[in-house]
Amino acid sequence: MSDVKKVVLAYSGGLDTSVIVKWLQETYNCEVVTFTADLGQGEEVEPARAKAQALGVKEIYVEDLREIFVRDYVFPMFRANAIYEGEYLLGTSIARPLIARRLVEIANETGADAISHGATGKGNDQVRFELGAYALKPGIQVIAPWREWDLNSREKLMEYCEEHGIEVDYAKNKKKSPYSMDANLLHISYEGGVLEDPWTECEEEMWRWSVSPEQAPNEATYIDLTYVKGDISAIDGKEMAAHEVLEYLNKVGGANGIGRLDIVENRYVGMKSRGCYETPGGTIMMRAHRAIESITLDREAAHLKDEMMPKYAELVYNGYWWSPERRMLQAAIDESQKVVNGVVRLKLYKGNVIVVGRQSEDSLFDASIATFEDDAGAYDQKDAAGFIKLNSLRLRIAASKGRGIE
Amino acid sequence: MSDVKKVVLAYSGGLDTSVIVKWLQETYNCEVVTFTADLGQGEEVEPARAKAQALGVKEIYVEDLREIFVRDYVFPMFRANAIYEGEYLLGTSIARPLIARRLVEIANETGADAISHGATGKGNDQVRFELGAYALKPGIQVIAPWREWDLNSREKLMEYCEEHGIEVDYAKNKKKSPYSMDANLLHISYEGGVLEDPWTECEEEMWRWSVSPEQAPNEATYIDLTYVKGDISAIDGKEMAAHEVLEYLNKVGGANGIGRLDIVENRYVGMKSRGCYETPGGTIMMRAHRAIESITLDREAAHLKDEMMPKYAELVYNGYWWSPERRMLQAAIDESQKVVNGVVRLKLYKGNVIVVGRQSEDSLFDASIATFEDDAGAYDQKDAAGFIKLNSLRLRIAASKGRGIE
Amino acid sequence: MSDVKKVVLAYSGGLDTSVIVKWLQETYNCEVVTFTADLGQGEEVEPARAKAQALGVKEIYVEDLREIFVRDYVFPMFRANAIYEGEYLLGTSIARPLIARRLVEIANETGADAISHGATGKGNDQVRFELGAYALKPGIQVIAPWREWDLNSREKLMEYCEEHGIEVDYAKNKKKSPYSMDANLLHISYEGGVLEDPWTECEEEMWRWSVSPEQAPNEATYIDLTYVKGDISAIDGKEMAAHEVLEYLNKVGGANGIGRLDIVENRYVGMKSRGCYETPGGTIMMRAHRAIESITLDREAAHLKDEMMPKYAELVYNGYWWSPERRMLQAAIDESQKVVNGVVRLKLYKGNVIVVGRQSEDSLFDASIATFEDDAGAYDQKDAAGFIKLNSLRLRIAASKGRGIE
Amino acid sequence: MSDVKKVVLAYSGGLDTSVIVKWLQETYNCEVVTFTADLGQGEEVEPARAKAQALGVKEIYVEDLREIFVRDYVFPMFRANAIYEGEYLLGTSIARPLIARRLVEIANETGADAISHGATGKGNDQVRFELGAYALKPGIQVIAPWREWDLNSREKLMEYCEEHGIEVDYAKNKKKSPYSMDANLLHISYEGGVLEDPWTECEEEMWRWSVSPEQAPNEATYIDLTYVKGDISAIDGKEMAAHEVLEYLNKVGGANGIGRLDIVENRYVGMKSRGCYETPGGTIMMRAHRAIESITLDREAAHLKDEMMPKYAELVYNGYWWSPERRMLQAAIDESQKVVNGVVRLKLYKGNVIVVGRQSEDSLFDASIATFEDDAGAYDQKDAAGFIKLNSLRLRIAASKGRGIE
């Protein structure tokens, strides 16, 4: 066991990380600094301060990071249209690099030589936290209690609390959810419990942020989203900060039954896992961003983005936000977004996000060229013959050598 | 003008291609062979025989290609999860290579030296027909009347009919749609008319194959799709031929308001164009195929497919079905599909396709490993520490050389 | 024939473009502006001034663009390690976008409404000139005489000269080379003549910039190249401007028999073509750049560059320098080059470029980690077990489902 | 320590693996099966039998795998033109999956429950052996002594020999090389020693398979290589088995100073490492394969291969030969090689591999089209105008919206 003097812990205020505070103090005989962030998970963060104090913590960080989170992490990722494995909008993944960064910065400020987190040894989050921390501060030590201790059941945790006088009233009052959950402004996720059988439909009562399409209003909701350089800057003409945009879209999306997802995904550590996600605002943003790009982006710029996207999404999912290759891709993507300005109009109805209009001063859509009606000479149809002749030349030569119909 | 003796025309039986028959006979003083295919467009094809006869055509081909179309073109494409520009399921694109092939084969059978089609000089279809034809028979001549003649308005066409005694009753009886449409078993498309302003929402009466989500039933429909090697072989346990699968899914999808799409896309010939599409069955198949792959495909095989997909979709869209590069990608994709077997359960509700279950004897999902509960030693959490340490090594070294926090 | 008032011609001063001056004046009854650039082709450009005057040209541009060419075009391309089809260093391709840009700028300055060039209708250069011009000034007209006129043989050209009093003494004095050639600071190319049979070895007398390996010195030459952000800034410790670097390397490379290439390549217009190239400096730079990257670039940044490279090279070859997709790739590449600083030592010997040393303050090579000797704990070999266990997990699960040995 | 009954060891007959035999017997109290393969490393393998017997081994496998190695591993890889990080021909990497496969098959035959190898915990080879073994037999145990024991210096190893009566005469007679080496028919590699400083030029006496370019003959050697489906089937008209091809090319290449390489590469386990390689035959094959492809492969098939290549090379380097993603890429590559038939003529001279001719009945090179002379109508230059006009349309539209000259 390495010699640790002070450790910064990503502290939620919940039972597990409270146990970790005590366990770190005991096991490493070190000082614990707690860091609790409001990323829009929908729970008060201030109560974590008192809890940390009760556990004997002296240096306590409680921070509202919502704007930084959405502006510097979520929005850049949405410029890339990032989707993991065709479905997942990376809600958990994108929060981890920010937390890793703050853990390291706080370690620098407080003179800590280690960080710690409450992620298990089977999941992606341990990787994301630790790759981030190592990429930013290579000598940092990382303590992952779930990989070290033997408190690997609820009973043992409760026993530990009792033995160490950790208050568990909050745990008693609330019935423990059968799911492992994670939430931030972009999404809430559910794993475990009955979800471990991918043939079992998930229960309606599991979902927390959205009504079901069945329960959504019978009237559609229309909204206009204004884009500046690929980011949403206003809704229905009202300017908003990045995190306000997402909060608003979560509300209106959730009310219309939008953004539920139930998938089996491939974890970076090598196994498949069932996950359910509610991403109302993100689901709306994904659709809208593609729509504004559809009229403003050059074709080949758009296709290049589509070719880059799977790798970008994989990097975010796997925890490589702070890697040079993610920065390279981001540079390419951001270069493309200068012209992604304009307005998208959406219709939201019972789980559907329907694009009904897009307009932009940077639009490359030119009805006078595209029209099947008379175009007044904007396009010479005879050019198409030469275009086809030369594009087919290699195929014609090959066919003339016997590579035609097999 | 080249010397053409006999030309095979892709003949729909409609006004435009009827005019083309006559125009070819007159302009090239050549014999015309007509080819009319049932691709599931939802209109009778037999009437085309009498119309061709009335135009003096002696060699008339009328063929039901629905099974070949779905089995050999649509299904292989869906194995690739092909989506063009994030949205379009390539309904029109995928029919063209089959038509090009039959045109060339019929030219071989009838000793024709040319083929012809009714696609305009501004669109993608001319490219798809002609690249296909040249790739299969390099010396073939292609006549594209819309690029040659001056009948470029409805009035001129009607005048031409009158002058040449072409029956237009079918044109009189039906009010001409304001849209340019194309249909086959995979979809129906709409372009032109009011769609030429991308800010204008399309009208409800435009859509033909689906009800709106609003008008769809208030009760969800559940279906089970059985996959064998990446293709659907049965629905609700009932074995079906490929085209029956798609017909069935079109019906149940359309009835549940599924598969409408309204986009601005980039044509291969260089301009942006607004298109609306109804693809009820295809929309269901896309979702379901990803779901069955999610439990049966290896992670990296799946990611490689995702990286290949944009290029594959672009090749199909641009008309390169018969190219060696499309065949290379198909070989890779088909190699991956041997294990894509099992059943997907879907819930269809007012425009939503919701995956509620997937199971397979080839499933790689292993709850005993993924579980956050005790896994009886199936996975050693300590392995994760080494995994992270070595994956981060390059980042730690870089950070130690000053490339950490900027 | 379109109505052209003034046309800017890319004018070499040679026979062909002199004929074009006259032909443009006659055919379009327009004013001709000539533009002659020194790109390091190794011929005087000033004589072009008098020749243009003799042809009645009033606005004459003669410019030394060598530094701009190497600094803003060649160097950025070498940051990408761009090689077309595994062999070709893109010597001709990279000069075209600069010429296109100057043609357009001069058109803007002189109020010209068209540009013209002497490239044939079969080659890549027409595409590169014209895509560049259209991308920079969309309304510009382009006149490509070789696609329009009927002077398609040497005899007809000479006849035209005689009829129009164009001096051909320079043509008389020099025996016409049997090759079609193009030169600039990066390379000289040869096409046509006996090269049209790819089984025929090219003749020693064809080559102009290099001795053969056989004739190169028996003593090796050593040089040190200093890199700053991916570009060479000094040779053997002596700071040089970009074009001086390339001039120096051409000299030392050519003297050591370096940089000859004989390939069959695929032109963008669809046919294969045999080309021979001498690229002494470029061949050295390619090898050296990879060597400095090998110690300074992160592994995944390097691999991402390798994956992007074929597309980048294709874009340059095909003439898409001024496209948004090339700019996106460049942004990603340039992002990676910040750390590509240091010195590479090379041994040049009879056609061989041998890397014998590389060093850098930004080096990520760390002998204390890589060593097979005792590393004092810098690397824990036990981490490798966990690394392998988790990287193989997906394969182990698959094998346990019967996907192991086939 | 796990309970192992019988272990199959990759046994070279050298000092290190002899120690491992004894160490396994002692440490695990298990039976050891030795497996020694002739992969063309240039040393007798039969002596390994007696040495194993002397160590008390009862089940001894000594096999000549040269033909299988070249035909089923080296040749398929060369079809892909695989080069790792722009330089390395993957000589060590490609032998490992075959050894892994035989270890597993022998384990199955002998009822062994474990395999073992002599690779260190810092290198790539441990990963390649173990990923291969796990992919083929998921429950196999792997013992990697170098990651477990404390015999981590030459002295301790010698001491162990003495204590355990292991004959070290072969070690006494030969002076121990200062390099860590690995050899098979494709290459010999050198690491460690003075190479650990990347600024130090390697010594002439290090190289074993090739003369230096300086010492190579002053006369060039010409050879003709015949290709069938992308593999070499004959040299100078003489049919040869796969391993004979490589043996022959190693000899002629080495005699002409061909195939030396000195690089810094990125290991999969995360650090940079200096490696020197001699790959005479492989260097010749790489050049020749590209040459035969240059006349037989379609352009886009070739470019697709170039885009796939870096990933393919990375997979081989990292040890994923037996993965589904490598098989997918191989399927695509092999699909392209059906037409890669013909003859390449090479000139070998003092380190240079110079392509001087290529011919094929499947050649797509058509001088009658490519010629700058009169082509008798094979290519209509006017088609180029339309080709350029439509390819530039998207750029012209963008420029007309202000995205031209910045």
The closest of B219, B211, B220, B280 to B245, measured between CA atoms, is B280
Q: Which residues pair with B261 in a beta bridge?
A: B277
Q: Is this prediction's pTM over 0.90? A: yes
Contacts of B198 in chain A (CB under 8 A): 295, 357-359, 363, 365
CB contact under 8 A, B180 and A126: no
CB contact under 8 A, D332 and B334: no
Beta strands in A6-106 (DSSP E): 6-10, 31-38, 60-64
Test the D interface: residue of C87, C262, C289, C392 with most D CBs within 10 Å: C392
Contacts of D142 in chain B (CB under 8 A): none
Least confident of A4-18, A215-229, C376-390, D282-296: C376-390
Percentage of chain A lying above the pLDDT 90 cut: 89
Q: What is the mean pLDDT of chain A?
A: 95
The answer for D257, left when phi > 0, alpha when psi is -120 to 50, beta otherwise, is: left
D residues 325-354 lying closer than 8 A (beta carbon) to B: 325, 327-329, 331-336
Sequence letter at residue D137:
K
Place of tokens 């509620």: B356
Spot the catalytic one: D66, D79, D96, D101: D96
Predicted pLDDT at B167: 81
Does CATH place domain B6-69+91-176 in 3.30.2130.10? no
Report how many helices (DSSP H) and strands (DSSP E) chain A contains, helices first. Answer: 16, 14
Residue D121's contacts (CB-CB under 8 Å, 6 or more residues apart) are C381, C382, C383, C384, C385, D144, D146, D147
Three-state secondary-structure class, residue A231 = strand
Encode A107-134: b = buried (16+ Cβ within 10 Å), e = exposed: beebebbbbbbbbbbbbbbbbbbbbbbb
Place of tokens 């996959």: B227
Predicted pLDDT at A169: 62
Q: How many CB atoms lie within 10 A of CB C58?
A: 11
CB contact under 8 A, D271 and B324: no
D residues 10-39 lying closer than 8 A (beta carbon) to C: none
Structure tokens at A240: 């908003």
C residues 238-257 lying closer than 8 A (beta carbon) to D: none
D16 is catalytic: yes
Predicted pLDDT at C168: 76
Predicted pLDDT at B169: 62
Q: Which chains touch D (3 or more CB pairs under 8 A)?
A: A, B, C
Q: What homologous superfamily does CATH list for A182-297+340-359?
A: Argininosuccinate synthetase, chain A, domain 2 (3.90.1260.10)
Residue B29's contacts (CB-CB under 8 Å, 6 or more residues apart) are none
Q: Which strand ranges, in their side-by-side order, compose the sheet holding B187-191?
A: B180-184, B187-191, B272-278, B260-266
Residue of C nearest to B381 (CA): C386
Structure tokens at A359: 């307009």
Predicted pLDDT at A295: 98
Per-residue pLDDT reduced to its tens digit, A81-128? 999 999 999 999 999 999 999 999 999 999 999 999 999 999 999 999
Distance from CA of B72 to the nearest CA of A (A): 14
CB pairs under 8 A between C and D: 304
Least confident of A74-83, C347-356, D191-200, D246-255: D191-200
Query: Average pLDDT, stretch A267-288?
Result: 97
Percent of chain D as helix, strand, coil, to the nearest 5 = 45, 20, 35
Predicted pLDDT at D155: 86
Per-residue pLDDT reduced to its tens digit, D298-324? 999 999 999 999 999 999 999 999 999
Three-state secondary-structure class, residue A190 = strand
Output the DSSP codes for C280-349: HHHHHHHHHHHHHHHHHS-HHHHHHHHHHHHHHHHHHHHT-TTSHHHHHHHHHHHHHGGG--EEEEEEEE
Sequence letter at residue C352:
N
Distance from CA of B387 to the nearest CA of C (A): 4
Q: How many CB atoms lie within 10 A of CB C54?
A: 13
Host H or E run for residue A224: strand A221-228
Question: Mean pLDDT of residues grouped by 10 in chain C (406 residues)?
Answer: 90 95 97 98 94 97 98 98 98 98 98 97 97 96 96 88 82 69 97 94 96 98 98 98 98 98 98 97 98 98 98 98 98 98 98 98 90 72 96 96 82
Output the DSSP codes for B173-222: HSPPPSSEEEEETTEEEEESGGGGSTTSPPPGGG--S---GGGS-SS-EE
Test the B interface: residue of C300, C340, C393 with most B CBs within 10 Å: C393
Distance from CA of B385 to the nearest CA of D (A): 14
D129: pLDDT strictly greater than 60: yes
Distance from CA of B349 to the nearest CA of D (A): 36
Structure tokens at B135: 């790739």
Output the DSSP codes for C145-194: HHHH-S--SHHHHHHHHHHHT---HHHHHSPPPSSEEEEETTEEEEESGG
Per-residue pLDDT reduced to its tens digit, D15-58? 999 999 999 999 999 999 999 999 999 999 999 999 999 999 99
Predicted pLDDT at A372: 61
Q: Given CB atoms, is A269 within the 8 Å cutoff of chain C?
A: yes
Q: In Å, what is the CA distance from D42 to each residue of B217, B288, C258, D49, D208?
A: 76, 55, 33, 17, 11
Comparing D366 with C293, the larger pLDDT belongs to C293
Least confident of A390-404, C198-212, D164-178: D164-178
Nearest to A404 among B135, B359, B384 (CB): B135
D127: pLDDT strictly greater than 60: yes
Q: Is A11 annotated as a binding residue?
A: yes
D113 is catalytic: no
The closest of D143, D117, D110, D135 to D4, measured between CA atoms, is D143
Nearest to A131 among B152, B366, B392 (CB): B392
Q: What is the mean pLDDT of chain D?
A: 95
Q: DSSP letter for C84, please.
A: B
Domain boundaries, chain C: 6-69+91-176, 182-297+340-359
Query: Average pLDDT, stretch A141-157?
Result: 92
Taking the alpha carbons of A237, A240, A246, A248 in that order, is the dihedral positive or negative? negative
Nearest to B386 among C363, C386, C393 (CB): C386
Is B165 buried (19+), middle (13-18) or exposed (0-12) by CB count in 10 A?
A: exposed
Nearest to D299 among C137, C266, C303 (CB): C266
Taking the alpha carbons of B338, B333, A392, B263 in that order, is the dihedral positive or negative? positive
Contacts of A404 in chain B (CB under 8 A): 135-138
CB contact under 8 A, A389 and D383: yes
- Residue C210 main-chain phi, psi, to 5 deg: -135, 150
For residues D300 and A21, what is the distance between their CA atoms, to the nearest angstrom? 59
Q: What is the pLDDT along chain B (406 residues), one digit of tens a residue?
A: 578 999 999 999 999 999 999 999 999 999 999 999 999 999 999 999 999 999 999 999 999 999 999 999 999 999 999 999 999 999 999 999 999 999 999 999 999 999 999 999 999 999 999 999 999 999 999 999 999 999 988 889 999 999 999 987 655 555 678 899 999 999 999 999 999 999 999 999 999 999 999 999 999 999 999 999 999 999 999 999 999 999 999 999 999 999 999 999 999 999 999 999 999 999 999 999 999 999 999 999 999 999 999 999 999 999 999 999 999 999 999 999 999 999 999 999 999 999 999 999 999 999 888 766 666 667 899 999 999 999 999 999 999 999 987 6
Predicted pLDDT at A282: 98
Query: Average pLDDT, stretch A138-158?
Result: 92
For residues B291 and B293, what is the distance between their CA atoms, to the nearest angstrom? 5
The closest of A234, A335, A241, A251 to A288, measured between CA atoms, is A234
Q: Which residue blocks in A190-275 are alpha helix, DSSP H?
A: 242-255
For residues D117 and A350, what is the distance between their CA atoms, to the nearest angstrom? 60
